[in-house]
Amino acid sequence: MPAPRQLVVEADGGSRGNPGPAGYGAVVLDPHDATTLAEAAEYIGVATNNVAEYRGLIAGLKAVRELFPDTDVQVRVRMDSKLVVEQMSGRWKIKHPDMKPLAAEAASILPASSVTYEWIPRERNKHADRLANEAMDAGGRGEQWDAASSTADRGTARTAALPEPAPPAGPPGDAVAGAAKVRAAMAAARPAQAAPRATSATPQMGWGSAPDLGAPATFVLLRHGETALTPEKRFSGSGGSDPALSETGRHQAACAAEAFAARGTVEEIVSSPLRRCRETAQAVADRLGLEVAVDEGLRETDFGAWEGLTFAEVRERHGADLTAWLASPDAAPTGGGESFAEVAERISVTRDRLVARHKGRTALLVTHVTPIKTLVRLALGAPPESLFRMELSPASVSTVAYYADGNPSVRLLNDTSHLR
């Protein structure tokens, strides 16, 4: 009996807005010489990143079946979506209702014993990523992807291509992406700004006259749920006790988890190391079937000797220090706490690191009042005193997106609708 034919499928998907105009790309490769055996790409309308990634996987596996309908094959699927790889490998549960039928369809295309899954970094999945972006570009023009005009595989022979899917009903209306392109055009006119990402040479119309910045890194900012200190309005930072969520806080975390499950947009979860955040993050992670990464940079301010005290108690005991703290971002709380200027520096470094790590994806950051307000303040270019002019309720949701041209976009602040 001949050995199974060895093949590699690389697949990807993207959404400009998450959810927003979405597309996928997939390529079938000969692992011996990296020859492209088949390509597939399609604009699929408004969808999330995860849906688009699953659709890319399905297209890649179907391409294998079409190419070798009567041949035993052994397929190695390579994707930069940890969610899809871990779920299809059986290591993560599939809890989201939108993912279950897609995973079931992918599993039904080829025998389970003939497919293995491997996670790869995004930079090693450029072929499929380019196909997905070409599909989204085509959707923006009211068209579908055309294999003849693809640049995803320049320099590599194409021995087969899949048939083109039917054209969509019409072009997407994506105001967010359009606004990003306008900003890119404005940035291009300013020599001091970094050049935006290069795009396809295909002529564009309307919004497409400016460079396409691609999907932003989107941070959904979730403040942790209540602790016993929250209703008493006591200073609770990273230098004092590490309180757990109260019963109310656990209920708030559960409500947030249900809301994120319904939206289906969160792809990664990153938490402050403090217990109240880790408990909130874990409630969401359990509902979504994701893992929680911990980042020290997301911890709350160290309030020094003020930890556990009310504002009135601090006023009574450390009045002069409190007055200085309210007047200047460089003033620190009594007893060696952190100033707002120090926190802003820490948060800036953390933001840049996480933006690079989650480029084009949606990450839930579970953190505290000061880090969230600082991220919003920096995104708006607002002065330090704006920290005192924002309301941020327990378990509230705020959102900031970071585009490739360096421009952030504040999309939401202090949303508590999921708690009602």
Catalytic site residue from 39, 42, 86, 224? 224
pLDDT in tens, 174-200: 333 344 443 444 344 333 333 333 333
pLDDT in tens, 271-292: 999 999 999 999 999 999 999 9
Cα–Cα dist 59/83, whole Å:
17
Q: Which residue do the tokens 């295909």 mark?
A: 202
pLDDT tens digits, 347-370: 999 999 999 999 899 999 999 999
What burial letters (b/e) apply to 195-221, b meaning 16+ CB within 10 Å? Answer: ebeebbeeebeebbebbbbbbbbbbbb
Q: Which residue is catalytic, options 86, 226, 300, 338?
A: 300
Average pLDDT over residues 385-403: 94
Cis omega (within 30 of 0) for bond into 21:
no
Q: Which band of pLDDT confidence, cut at 50, 70 and 90, is reported for residue 10? A: very high
Residue 419 to residue 370: CA distance in whole angstroms: 21
Measured N-to-C along each axis, helices 247-263 and 275-288 cross at an angle, to the nearest 10 degrees, of: 40
Q: Is 418 a catalytic residue?
A: no
Does residue 368 carry a catalytic annotation?
no
